[in-house]
Structure 1
Amino acid sequence: MEETFISSKPSGNEQSIDLNQITLRPFHLSDLDDLMVWRTDEKVAKFCSWEPYTSKEQGISFIENIPNKFLWCKAICLNNRAIGRVSLKSRSPHDKSRNKTAELAYVLASKYWGKGIATYVVKQVVKVAFSELSHLERVEAFVDVENVGSQRVLEKAGFQKEGTLGKYLVMKGKSRDMIIFSVLSTDLQL
């Protein structure tokens, strides 16, 4: 699992954002400075498998290796500035006949938490997953038990909580309990 989810707690900056200004697009090397804002933020990395970046070379490597890591990955953009990332990862990316499940993950710059952006994006990605990646029957997401904000995001986006996976993974040297959420293609009216 490359990443788990960030928190979506209000950040104190409650300025309203027009969700129609949120777009999803491929990452470009020109996004490096924007990417570094959230990839260097300890608050963002708290529930992620990665440590905050310490160099731009790490950001360049991330952008250049997206095709090798994900089934589908896009920059979450506000006014064409990359404020986060959303991705789908497959257990068997080269064998669609055996793999009907994709894992959803997303990251959002902390200054945009609590504004409805993550919920909006997750809803859009689920539609894309089941329409553009027609072999998929299930999208699942794993959330740290302490990450209440992301649990709310998934619930608002129509995901069902399936249960808690005790000591599911070791992250940053500590065993973590994770909650698994899912949405099935049959759950949606596309």
Structure 2
Amino acid sequence: MSLRRIALADAEELADFHRRNRDFLAPFDPVRPESYYHVDGLRERIERAHADEGERLIDFAIIRDRDIVGKIALSNVSRGAFQSATVGYSIDEACNGHGYATIAVKLAVDHAFRLLQLHRIEAGTLLDNIASQRVLEKAGFARIGISHQHLRINGSWRDHMLFARVADAT
């Protein structure tokens, strides 16, 4: 398994991934515009991310046997005194529960610390998303507390368990 930067050539496979997993991921995701599920909308999103040159958002495809089985992103990349980012991920329903998310988080964190020279990576999960909490703990993240009404998920403001990992802990 590996990570690679998402490219324009991935738009069709990503659109298929999004459509195939729409119902599975809906309880964990913000409400998405229809363009999120279509090739043209994804091409625009990929172009915007590449125009940013990875300054604030770095999207990766999670690859297994040359197929995209998930996505992981380092977002809200902050430089200066903070040197941090947020990690978020999703795995294809058919591949859920096989350890791919844990491996992907470890690879993304390694990229963030070694190549981007970031100091801190943060993540959040819904309070009842125990599987995602286990992913983060297996990847070396520590629980740092609950953030009330943290993100608007599936149309409602939801509390999240926050996690963090710092480079010194690697």
State the TM-score, normalizing by the size of structure 2: 0.85
Deviation (angstroms), 1:23: 1.5
Structure holding more helix per residue: 2
Counterpart-to-counterpart distance in 2, 1:162 and 1:179: 8
Q: Could you tell me which amino acid in structure 2 is paired with residue 90 of structure 1?
A: N
| Shift of residue 50, structure 1, vs aligned partner | 4.0
Tell me the residue number matched to 1:183: 165
Deviates more, 1:101-110 or 1:49-58: 49-58
Structure-2 separation of matches of 1:32 and 1:125? 21
Match of 1:155 among 128, 133, 137: 137
Q: 1:75-105: CA deviations, max 9, x gaps?
A: 111122222211111354xxx2233211011
Instruction: Name the counterpart of 2:76.
Output: 90
Partner of 1:49: 30
**Pair 1:38 & 2:17 matched:** yes
Tell me the number of residue pairs that the alignment of Structure 1 and Structure 2 aligns: 163
- Identity percentage of aligned residues: 30
Tell me the distance in 1 between the aligned counterparts of 2:45 and 2:92: 16
Higher fraction of strand: 2
Q: Structure 1 residue runs of 4+, over 3 Å off?
A: 68-71
What is the Cα deviation at residue 42 of structure 1? Answer: 1.6
Structure 2: stretches of 5+ with no match in the other structure:
none
Q: 1:50 to 1:23 in 2, by over 3 A?
A: farther
- Distance change in 2, residues 1:71/1:57 (3 Å): closer
The equivalent position to 1:76 in structure 2, one of 62, 67, 73, is 62
Are the equivalent residues in 2 in contact too, given 1:142–1:179 (CA < 8 A)? yes
Root mean square deviation of aligned Cα: 1.9
Distance in 2, matches of 1:164 and 1:176, equals 11
Gaps of 5+ in 1: 1-21
Q: Distance in 1 between matches of 2:48 and 2:40?
A: 12
Change (3 A) 1:169 1:115: same
Tell me the distance in 2 between the aligned counterparts of 1:109 and 1:63: 20
Once structures 1 and 2 are overlaid, which stretch shifts more, 57-66 or 152-161?
57-66
What are the equivalent positions in structure 2 for 1:111-126 lying under 5 Å apart? 111-126=94-109
CA shift at 1:54, angstroms? 4.2
| Higher relative contact order (Cα pairs below 8 Å, separated by 6+ residues) | 1
- Structure-1-length-normalised TM-score: 0.77
Does structure 1 residue 107 correspond to structure 2 residue 56? no
The alpha-carbon distance between structure 1 residues 71 and 62, as it changes in their structure 2 partners (threshold 3 A), is closer
Contact preservation (8 Å) 1:38, 1:44: no
